[in-house]
C-alpha cells in the first residue's frame, strides 16, 4: 500500500512539474541553491519530480515491481513497524544518494538533478539483500539471473560510470542509493547478513 501511495504522489507532482517550469525549478536538486540559499528541502523534493514521461515511468515501474516485495518482506520481519521502516528506507534513499553530489557540486550553479532513482535503488537492493536468489531479467540479458549477481553488476557499472562521468545520468545517486538500501536494512536486522551468505552458499554448492 505504501508503494502505491508513493507512486501516486510522485506521479501527481511530476505531472504538475511537467506543465509548470517554475514549480519544477523550485523542487529540483540544486547543490548551489542548497549551499548558498539554505534550500535544504531540495534534498527530498527532487525525488518527486522527473525529467520526462519515460524517466517517471521507468522509476515507478521498478518501484512497483520491487516495492511490493520489500513491503512484504519488511512486514514479515518487522511486523507493525514495517511501513514506518519502508518510508525511512525510501526517504533515506533520496537523501543519502544526493549527499555525494552535493559535496561535489555545491559551488556549481549549473548542476541540477531530478528523479527518484536513488530511492528506487535503495528499495531494489533491500530486496536483493533479503532474497538474493530471486530471478531478475536484466534489460540487455534475455534470461533470468539471480538477484545478487544483478546487484554486483549494477554496483560495478554504476561506480564505473559515475567515475567516468560522460553522460547526464546520475550514476553516483544509483550507487549510493543502492548502498543505503543495503546498510539500512542490515542495521535494522543484522541477521540478514548470515541469511544472505547462506543462500548464496547454497546456490554455489548446488
**Domain boundary assignment for the chain:** 2-205
109 or 166: whose pLDDT is higher? 109
Classified as helix, coil or strand, 55 is helix
**The pLDDT of residue 24 is above 70:** yes
Share of the chain above pLDDT 70, in %: 94
- Cell numbers 525525488 correspond to 47
pLDDT the model gives residue 170: 67
Residue 138, pLDDT > 70, answer no
Q: What's the grid cell of residue 179?
A: 548502498
Mean pLDDT computed over 53-67:
93
**Looking at the domain 2-205, which fold is it?**
Rhomboid-like fold (1.20.1540)
The pLDDT value given to residue 158: 78
Residue 169: pLDDT over 60: no
**Rounded to whole angstroms, how far apart are CA atoms 199 and 133?**
7
The pTM for the full model equals: 0.92
Q: Is residue 70 a contact partner of residue 86, using CB atoms and an 8 Å limit?
A: yes
Q: Which long-range contacts does 159-167 make (Cβ < 8 Å, 24+ apart)?
A: none
Q: What is the mean pLDDT of the chain?
A: 91
Amino acid at each position: 500500500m505504501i508503494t502505491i501511495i508513493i507512486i501516486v504522489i510522485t506521479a501527481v507532482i511530476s505531472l504538475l512539474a511537467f506543465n509548470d517550469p517554475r514549480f519544477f525549478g523550485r523542487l529540483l536538486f540544486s547543490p548551489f541553491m542548497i549551499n548558498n540559499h539554505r534550500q535544504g528541502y531540495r534534498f527530498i523534493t527532487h525525488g518527486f519530480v522527473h525529467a520526462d514521461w519515460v524517466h517517471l515511468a521507468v522509476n515507478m515501474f521498478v518501484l512497483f515491481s520491487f516495492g511490493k516485495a520489500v513491503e512484504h518482506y519488511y512486514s514479515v520481519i518487522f511486523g507493525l513497524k514495517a511501513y514506518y521502516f519502508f518510508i525511512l528506507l525510501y526517504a533515506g534513499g533520496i537523501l543519502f544518494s544526493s549527499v555525494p553530489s552535493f559535496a561535489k557540486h555545491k559551488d556549481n550553479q549549473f548542476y541540477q538533478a531530478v528523479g527518484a532513482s536513488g530511492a528506487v535503488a535503495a528499495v531494489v537492493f533491500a530486496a536483493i539483500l533479503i532474497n538474493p536468489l530471486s530471478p531478475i531479467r536484466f534489460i540487455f540479458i534475455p534470461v533470468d539471473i539471480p538477484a545478487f549477481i544483478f546487484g554486483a553488476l549494477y554496483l560495478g557499472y554504476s561506480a564505473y560510470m559515475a567515475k567516468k562521468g560522460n553522460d547526464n545520468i546520475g550514476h553516483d545517486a544509483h550507487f549510493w542509493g543502492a548502498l543505503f538500501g543495503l546498510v539500512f536494512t542490515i542495521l535494522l536486522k543484522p541477521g540478514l547478513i548470515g541469511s544472505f551468505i547462506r543462500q548464496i552458499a547454497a546456490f554455489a554448492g548446488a
